[in-house]
Amino acid sequence: MQEELLKKCEEVAKKWATDPVFDEATRAEAQAMLDSEDKSQLIDSFYQTLEFGTGGLRGIMGVGTNRMNIYIVGAATQGFANYINKAFPGRKDLSVVVGHDCRNHGREFAETVANIFSANGIKAYLFESLRPTPEISFAIRQLGAQAGVNVTASHNPKEYNGYKAYWDDGAQVLAPHDVGIINEVNAVKMEDVKWEGNPDLIQIIGGEMDWDYLQAVKEAMVDQDVILRQKDLNIVYTPLHGTGRVIIPEALRSWGFQNIHVVPEQMVIDGNFPTVVSPNPENSEAMTLGMKLGTKLNADLVIASDPDADRLAIVCRNSDGEWEILNGNQTCMMFAWYIIANKKKLGQLKGNEFLVKTIVTTEIIKRIADKNGVEMMDCYTGFKWIAALIRENEGVKKYIGGGEESFGFLPFDKVRDKDSPASICLICEIAAWAKDNGKTLYDLLMDIYLEYGFTYNKAINVVKPGKSGADEIKAMMENFRQNPPKELAGSKVVLSKDYKTLEARDADGNVCKLEMPDTSNVLQYFTENGSKVSVRPSGTEPKIKFYVEAPGELKSAADYKAACKKAEAYVDEITKSLGV
């Protein structure tokens, strides 16, 4: 088997080493891999062609079919262009929006994308420089484009780049378009790619779209009066070297906040992310410089966006005045609570509103929605599924917010992807409301736990790189399906859900169908004591994820740290039960 794989990889690599369609540096690198005694790099670089996952196309930059480079970007774009032309036959005014973030090769890839679309008769609106992912989504809708591409690897390490494909509603592509695009991409040979752009079909966009987007972001505001009363809220913001650097401070000022400070070292655009180990706001290390400046300035809160400014992270002061990093479930809970509570108070709820969360996100959000008579919908991980529910219910029900545990939220419907500029403005409004009521964000979080119940959430990522890693992950999922756990940390599993077969099975063996728009390689287990475990291979990274939510006991805010410690120990017992 390994010999067959190596032979296949060598055949493809030889083409990359000799075909004049590839540049000299690429040919030389492919030849070096062929000549090397260690074939692991050759196999990892050529064993597959990157495919669209939950976040589109994403991979390590380098030479090969399993790497991000202009040739893979070019082939993907030619296939995408072919699909667009087939999806809208006879239409003469086809257009796409093209953007990129701060990553190395980002501009080069984006210009390559724009050139290929224009060479295929499709007008490309190319942003003049780096822009947030949500602004790309907004621009597709604003310009009436048929599709879009954002060159970004989101919060991945510096070695990565990626390609997010969007459809005409501003959301990332779903079936049947995702499969259709992949089929077109797979049919493309390098000699088929039309590299020579048509300058007449490339239009540079920038400031005007920024203005329109910032005006739209203000629609996420719930109560401007509270902002005006607390306009001096002391805010520290960092873009982690990425695209939020200009847009987010401007958005905050447009909402009425006047006391905004930025982390100067991280305002520098740099795809090497020199001030952090990884530009992922989920990692507490990435917030170090922000908290340092926050301490110096006695800030109320510290906020970060990731490189493409779709995710956000929040740090607030706890009851001891120390910095407390909130996790994605907690921020999602606060958004849900505030939007419902204050829209209700201001008479803005008409009775047809709905919230969305992903299946791996905390169940406390459902409790909040249920208690307040607001519909809550569950969907798969990835904002394209939240966008699909917005589209399905457009004109019938009113979307008021949706999010997931991985630090993403969308508080309005003018965008169809995670939106950190709008979410950051809204969390600052929530902090202003809390301050107006003599509280901090931390106090508000404790209030929510005490009213709706405390749970502890932990995500465990098991990284398995390369072909061998992909095989391991596949085997792990198969093992869970063949040998599902009967108990977790001593608590009986009373319900199992398999989203690949769309079946739910209770402890007595009764089976019912799951109502979902598609299948997904996700398993879930619910136990007698209220724990929830979700198991899911990442669609964009070489890892398998375990999401654990365990109930705990919280009688007062003073008990929070002890409750977390006790619940975390219980989560560790659950993960041991899973063999993780």
* Distance, first Cα to last Cα, the chain: 28
As a whole number of angstroms, the distance between CA 533 and CA 161 comes to: 30
Residue 425 in contact with residue 217, Cβ under 8 Å? yes
Q: What is the 3-state secondary structure (H, E, C) of 264-294?
A: HHHCCCCCCCCCCCCCCCCCHHHHHHHHHHH
Active site residue 319: no
Show the CA angle centred on residue 378, arms to residues 175 and 487, nearest 5°: 110
Q: Which of 260, 250, 257 is nearest to 229 (CA)?
A: 257
Measure the CA dihedral 273/279/283/287, to 10°: 60
The strand pairing partners of 167, in sequence order, are 147
Q: Which of 110, 94, 116, 254 is nearest to 194 (CA)?
A: 116
| 163: enclosing H helix or E strand | strand 160-167
Catalytic residue among 154, 305, 423, 491: 154
As a whole number of angstroms, the distance between CA 366 and CA 336 comes to: 9
Altogether, the residues listed in the chain come to a count of 580
As a whole number of angstroms, the distance between CA 4 and CA 382 comes to: 35
Structure tokens at 218: 């203000």
Structure tokens at 43: 């196999």
| 304: enclosing H helix or E strand | strand 301-305
Residue 382 in contact with residue 539, Cβ under 8 Å? yes
Q: Which residues are catalytic?
A: 154
